[in-house]
Structure 1
Amino acid sequence: MVARWQRFLTLLGFALVLGGAGCLLAQGHAGWALALLALGLCGHAAWLGLTCALAAWQNRRDAASTVPTASAAQWLAAWWAEVCTAPQVFCWRQPFRSQAEPDVLPGDAQGRIGVVLVHGFLCNRGFWNPWIRRLRALGVPCIAVSLEPVFGSIDDYVPTLETAVRQLSQLTGRPPLLVGHSMGGLAIRAWLRANQAGGGSDARVHGVVTMGSPHHGTWLAGFSRRTNGEQMRQHSAWLSTLAASESASRQALFVCLFSHCDNIVFPARSAVLPGASAVLHVAGAAHVDLMQRPESFAAVCHALGLAPADTGAVLAVG
């Protein structure tokens, strides 16, 4: 579903901008035609600039935070990286290439640790295409899920994760590592809660790595009127109930990556789950770009037991 409407919006946007610019040019209004093209090319940059400004404002207001303050240069670099990354994800990879990279399910996977890749809000499995290729090259079995319904409850995604975990466990004979970006980290926590009878869910995972997940909600979700968006609001009843269901041993399964330049999940400390066994601050990374940072993939390789020398993984234990 996400692929269909993102494909429609992308094509519609190109048609409107190029068609409008062509009409203006034909009428002799070259200046207005260029202005429309600039608006089409730079409109998303302005939106991302606004989210970065809001994040910086909220981070400064967060009196309880111990996260280092991002410099203006770091914010500028993070904004530019997101400007370059977001169109690749939302205008190409997800709408047109969501099935381009099949899951990695080799016949000789017994004994290996597999990975379940769980995307975030308004995304699909195409988000993980670069990671699927890298994991395939390393011989790591993996499944990238697509969470439906797009605007449903986060609890609705539990069956999808259950199917993926079960499939990888049967293929490899070992519990998989679960990796979640943004809302995907909350979907993993919801799956753990739904299957926690007798502590069974905790034993079914090798570990969990989350990247930019709103474990304490995000200020930006206060504007959402969708079910999963409302669940990601700061101090939401859903988040409070989820946290109350979690033991210290479950929290210790988690490794949390966050950034002080995250322009979607903020204040920055919202992405750190209390009791996580390790925390990694990826300095200067915006929200989507966090997935592309080498530190993020290195942290997953580290959790898989691959040699740190091969990945450059450096984890700050929290």
Structure 2
Amino acid sequence: MIARLQQFMTINWLLTIVGWFWWAWAHEYRLAAVLGTVFLATLHAGVLGLELLLQYFVSRHDAVPPASVRALLKAWAAECITGLRVFCLRQPFQHEAEPDYLPPPSGRRGVLLVHGLVCNRGVWSPWLRVLREHGVPVLAPSFEPPFGLIESWVPGVDAAVRRLYAATGEPVLIVAHSLGGLAVRAWLRGGGDASLVARVITIASPHRGTWLARFGTTPNARQLQLGSPWLKNLARDEAAAPHGLPMHCFFSDCDNVVFPPSVATLPGAENRLLRGWAHVDLLEAAELLDAVLQHAGAAPDGSVASRRAVPPMAR
């Protein structure tokens, strides 16, 4: 569904740009043709800029030291490019380009990749390629419905965990981006078998909600509002019946979607701050993939070579 929706949006966006330029130029509105084309072609950059501007003001009093204006501008420029690559190419047109990889059992742990809101498996394309090259079994399902309640993804998470465990015979390493981290927590809260899982790594997941969700109208966006009843109930249930799995939470001080930054952390988890990355661009951080390869047994310790990374935060 997300692929079809983004195909429609991308094609119509391009047709609108071309159509406006052709019409204005044909009617000799030359300046309007150029300015209108630039405006339409950079709409996404304006939206991202507004998000980071809100992030700057909202995060000033957060427990995490705020990012500099220069860092935010760099994150904005990177996200403008990454956003186009992900939402206008990988997800709508190339989401099946990189296949899952389930080789014969070799004693190697498998990795389950769980995407976030308004995404599909295409967001993981570079990861799928690298993990396959390292011989790591990997599954990256597309979870639906995209705009329903978070717990509607629980059956899909359960099926993927069991499929990967059955294929490898080893506990699964779950890596979840954004809303995907909450879907995994909902699965564990709802009776998910923690014995099938080795550990969980979340990336920019709004564990305590996000300020930006106040503008959302979908069921899952309402669940992501800061201090929502759903999030409070989730935390209460986890405290009453802890799953005991090691949790690692990677997050950024330049996240344009999940902010203020500390909402992406969890008590008792290894919370690691990677400075200078926007929400989707964070998946490009080399330290993240290095950490996954290490936990999957495919890379030696000390191989981390990430740009803009900092040591783990205190628990």
Q: TM-score, normalising length from structure 2?
A: 0.94
Q: Does 1:299 align with 2:291?
A: yes
Structure 2 SS opposite 1:70: coil
Tell me the CA shift for residue 20 of structure 1.
1.2
Match in the other structure for 2:44: 44
Structure 1 SS opposite 2:259: coil
Structure 1 SS opposite 2:100: coil
Match in the other structure for 1:135: 131
Structure 1 CA distance, aligned partners of 2:165 and 2:123?
A: 23
Which deviations, in whole Å up to 9, do the C-alpha atoms of 1:78-107 show, x marking residues without a partner?
Answer: 111101100101011000011111101112
Which deviations, in whole Å up to 9, do the C-alpha atoms of 1:95-146 show, x marking residues without a partner?
Answer: 0011111101112x33111011001010001010010000001100000011
Structure 2 CA distance, aligned partners of 1:213 and 1:162?
A: 19
Structure 2 CA distance, aligned partners of 1:25 and 1:295?
A: 48
What is the correspondence of 1:134-173 to structure 2 with a 5 Å cutoff?
A: 134-173=130-169
Contact preservation (8 Å) 2:113, 2:139? yes
Give 2:139's aligned amino acid: I
What is the correspondence of 1:74-89 to structure 2 with a 5 Å cutoff?
A: 74-89=71-86
Tell me the CA shift for residue 312 of structure 1.
3.7
Give the number of equivalent residue pairs.
Answer: 309
Structure 2 SS opposite 1:286: coil
Identity in percent: 44
Moved more, 240-249 or 40-49: 240-249
Moved over 6 A (4+): none
Tell me the CA shift for residue 240 of structure 1.
0.8
Give 2:156's aligned amino acid: T
Contact preservation (8 Å) 2:136, 2:296? no
Contact preservation (8 Å) 1:216, 1:235? yes
Contact preservation (8 Å) 2:173, 2:197? yes
Match in the other structure for 1:228: 220
Which deviations, in whole Å up to 9, do the C-alpha atoms of 1:126-173 show, x marking residues without a partner?
Answer: 010010000001100000011111111110101111111111101110
Tell me the CA shift for residue 304 of structure 1.
2.3
Structure 1 SS opposite 2:302: helix
Tell me the CA shift for residue 40 of structure 1.
1.9
Structure 1 SS opposite 2:143: coil
Flag the 1:60–1:315 CA change in 2: closer, same or farther, 3 A.
closer
Structure 1 CA distance, aligned partners of 2:108 and 2:215?
A: 43
Structure 1 CA distance, aligned partners of 2:72 and 2:44?
A: 16
Structure 1 SS opposite 2:174: strand
Give 1:169's aligned amino acid: Y
Which deviations, in whole Å up to 9, do the C-alpha atoms of 1:228-271 show, x marking residues without a partner?
Answer: 11111111111111111114853652100011110100010000
Structure 1 CA distance, aligned partners of 2:72 and 2:287?
A: 18
Structure 2 CA distance, aligned partners of 1:303 and 1:75?
A: 31
Match in the other structure for 1:27: 27
Which deviations, in whole Å up to 9, do the C-alpha atoms of 1:277-299 show, x marking residues without a partner?
Answer: x1211100010111111122122
Give 1:22's aligned amino acid: W
Tell me the CA shift for residue 301 of structure 1.
2.1
Contact preservation (8 Å) 1:118, 1:184? yes
Structure 2 CA distance, aligned partners of 1:311 and 1:105?
A: 26
Give 2:190's aligned amino acid: A
Give 2:155's aligned amino acid: P
Flag the 1:251–1:288 CA change in 2: closer, same or farther, 3 A.
farther
Contact preservation (8 Å) 1:301, 1:311? no
What is the correspondence of 1:270-281 to structure 2 with a 5 Å cutoff?
A: 270-276=263-269, 278-281=270-273
Match in the other structure for 1:69: 66
Give 2:130's aligned amino acid: R
Q: Which residues of structure 2 form unaligned runs of 5+? A: none
Give 1:128's aligned amino acid: W
Contact preservation (8 Å) 1:125, 1:146? yes
Q: Does 1:184 align with 2:176?
A: no
